[in-house]
């Protein structure tokens, strides 16, 4: 047993039960499943293109990461697909895949101890905008009664609970771009403290809309490389000019290790650390010294019972904005020390774009896949790294023989910061 593993065992003895990941699912601009998404990541394929879902007239930003070719009726009954906002459709699809992957069937015995936590930065914005337009154009009698359900932030968690039959807590989590990671962290705490045995946790967003492109574009947060969408998201590259708005979802099945053992489920990774903080600085800009982000990473490592010297891979927040990438690089240098120059650090947002509330959950899945396979997905478009001493895994997947512990960062508007630590099993 390594020193890091011994410290982790000591931490679990203090904090509660061991938490393992037994399944996951994803819907992203790269594919309609976790496997499709992972295969595309390893190939360095971009899911970013010119948006074709609505009129782009007068929009300064015309690119995004859409989930293309998604047919909800393949995954849910028509009565559900008709009422559910796309973000809830993506979340439900990812949850169903995660349960299948985990071999999880929620029966009457399990149901009271199974919870659902779904994070989202924007929630069902498509349904909200649509309802507002119907009210304006057709009047109040045209608003269907289910609008109260479909325009609620908890609608994704509700659809999952109804479909799968969970009877434990079911709730929404909203902390901007940290929402998916915070939902997973909250699920970990729930199991560790004995409030649930199994938690379906993750994030979802479907905010590639005219309103959201206009708003984030006017805030000068988005890349304007409309003429070259695949090259638009450039994390840690000197020529980066903003993030790319995207959509998608990911859900993981978290279980108490002893419950997974009783079910005969395979543990894919162990979730060993979670930390969250707030900057209390600015609505859209990170703290200039990265104080909140630094404390979140330090808290996650401390929770895991490890130090920065134990980390073998970082899936960075890496949005491609001027401030985020520079500050995150400084945070990693501070927390990991010299270790950061000896391990791979990559941003899969370079291929998916920024899926907002879904990002942290999708990136956790990628981190677990890296632990399981030794393949580290690349940071595409990183032609001129802002820190030449750090291995940002430019352009192509790299093979690393020993990746035991991975750190996944998520930092969001409003100063929300979250970090997750996972370990190979």
Q: Calculate mean pLDDT across residues 202-222.
A: 96
pLDDT of residue 10: 45
- How far apart are the C-alpha atoms of 365 and 404, rounded to whole Å? 15
Whether 317 is catalytic is yes
Q: Residue 384 carries which DSSP code?
A: S
Q: CB-based contacts of 203: which residues, under 8 Å, 6+ apart?
A: 91, 118, 119, 120, 173, 179, 180, 181, 183, 249, 250, 355, 357, 358, 359, 360, 361, 362
Residue with tokens 């924007």: 122
pLDDT of residue 6: 55
Residue of 32, 101, 287, 317 with catalytic role = 317
Whether 101 is catalytic is no
What confidence tier does 103 reach under pLDDT thresholds 50, 70, 90? Answer: very high
Q: Assess contact for 355 and 325: CB atoms under 8 A.
A: no
What confidence tier does 14 reach under pLDDT thresholds 50, 70, 90? Answer: very low
pLDDT tens track for 59-70: 999 999 999 999
Q: What is this structure's pTM?
A: 0.95
The per-residue pLDDT of the chain, averaged, comes to 95
pLDDT tens track for 367-386: 999 999 999 999 999 999 99
Alpha helices in 33-154 (DSSP H): 34-43, 78-83, 86-102, 125-138, 147-150
Residue of 32, 101, 287, 354 with catalytic role = 354
What confidence tier does 225 reach under pLDDT thresholds 50, 70, 90? Answer: very high
pLDDT of residue 169: 97
pLDDT of residue 387: 98
Pick the residue with more confidence: 3 or 214? Answer: 214
pLDDT of residue 283: 82
Q: Calculate mean pLDDT across residues 81-88.
A: 96
- How far apart are the C-alpha atoms of 212 and 234, rounded to whole Å? 20
- How far apart are the C-alpha atoms of 313 and 192, rounded to whole Å? 25
How many Å is the maximal CA-CA distance in the chain? 67
Residue 346 has pLDDT above 80, yes or no: yes
What confidence tier does 155 reach under pLDDT thresholds 50, 70, 90? Answer: very high
Q: And the tokens for 191?
A: 């199991």
Helices 291-304 and 3-15 sit at what angle, rounded to 10 degrees? 90
Which of 316, 344, 349, 363 has its CA nearest to residue 402?
Answer: 344
Q: Calculate mean pLDDT across residues 100-105.
A: 98
Residue 3 has pLDDT above 80, yes or no: no
Q: Assess contact for 190 and 100: CB atoms under 8 A.
A: no
Residue 234 has pLDDT above 50, yes or no: yes
pLDDT of residue 285: 85
Q: And the tokens for 322?
A: 């001027």
Which of 175, 168, 222 has its CA nearest to residue 196?
Answer: 168
Residue with tokens 């949850």: 95
What confidence tier does 116 reach under pLDDT thresholds 50, 70, 90? Answer: very high
How many CB atoms neighbour CB 391 within 10 A? 19
Whether 177 is catalytic is yes
pLDDT of residue 16: 81
The strand order across the sheet containing 247-256 reads: 170-173, 114-119, 198-206, 247-256, 19-27, 269-278, 416-423, 405-412, 313-315, 345-346
What confidence tier does 284 reach under pLDDT thresholds 50, 70, 90? Answer: confident
pLDDT of residue 279: 93
Residue of 177, 207, 294, 382 with catalytic role = 177
């Amino acid at each position: 047993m390594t020193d890091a593993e011994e410290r982790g065992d000591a931490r679990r003895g203090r904090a509660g039960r061991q938490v393992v990941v037994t399944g996951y699912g994803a819907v992203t601009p790269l594919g309609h499943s976790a496997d499709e998404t992972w295969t595309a990541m390893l190939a360095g394929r971009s899911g970013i293109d010119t948006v074709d879902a609505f009129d782009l007239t007068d929009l300064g930003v015309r690119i995004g990461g859409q989930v293309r070719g998604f047919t909800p009726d393949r995954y849910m009954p028509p009565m559900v697909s008709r009422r559910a906002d796309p973000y809830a459709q993506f979340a439900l699809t990812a949850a169903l895949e995660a349960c299948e992957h985990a071999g999880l069937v929620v029966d009457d015995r399990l149901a009271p101890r199974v919870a659902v936590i779904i994070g989202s930065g924007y929630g069902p914005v498509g349904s909200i905008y649509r309802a507002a337009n119907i009210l304006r154009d057709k009047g109040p009698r045209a608003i269907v009664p289910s609008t109260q359900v479909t325009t609620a932030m908890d609608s994704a968690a509700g659809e999952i609970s109804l479909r799968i039959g969970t009877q434990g807590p079911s709730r929404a989590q909203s902390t901007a771009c940290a929402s998916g990671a915070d939902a997973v962290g909250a699920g970990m705490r729930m199991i560790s403290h004995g409030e649930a045995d199994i938690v379906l946790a993750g994030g979802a967003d479907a905010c590639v809309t005219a309103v959201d492109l206009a708003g984030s574009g006017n805030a000068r947060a988005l890349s304007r490389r409309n003429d070259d969408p695949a090259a638009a998201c450039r994390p840690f590259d000197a020529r980066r000019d903003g993030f790319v708005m995207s959509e998608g979802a990911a859900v993981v099945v978290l279980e108490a290790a002893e419950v997974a053992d009783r079910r005969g489920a395979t543990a894919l990774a162990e979730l060993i650390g979670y930390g969250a903080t707030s900057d209390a600085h600015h609505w859209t800009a990170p703290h200039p010294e990265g104080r909140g982000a630094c404390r979140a990473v330090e808290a996650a490592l401390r929770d895991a019972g490890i130090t920065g010297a134990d980390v073998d891979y970082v899936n960075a927040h890496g949005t491609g904005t001027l401030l985020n990438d520079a500050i995150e690089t400084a945070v990693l240098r501070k927390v990991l020390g010299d270790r950061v120059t000896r391990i791979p650090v990559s941003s899969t947002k370079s291929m998916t774009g920024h899926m907002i509330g879904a990002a942290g959950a999708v990136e956790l899945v990628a981190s677990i896949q890296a632990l399981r396979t030794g393949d580290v997905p690349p940071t595409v478009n990183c032609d001129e790294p802002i820190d030449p001493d750090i291995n940002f895994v430019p352009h192509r997947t790299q093979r690393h023989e020993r990746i035991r512990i991975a750190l996944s960062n998520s930092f969001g508007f409003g100063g929300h910061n979250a970090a997750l630590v996972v370990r190979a099993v």
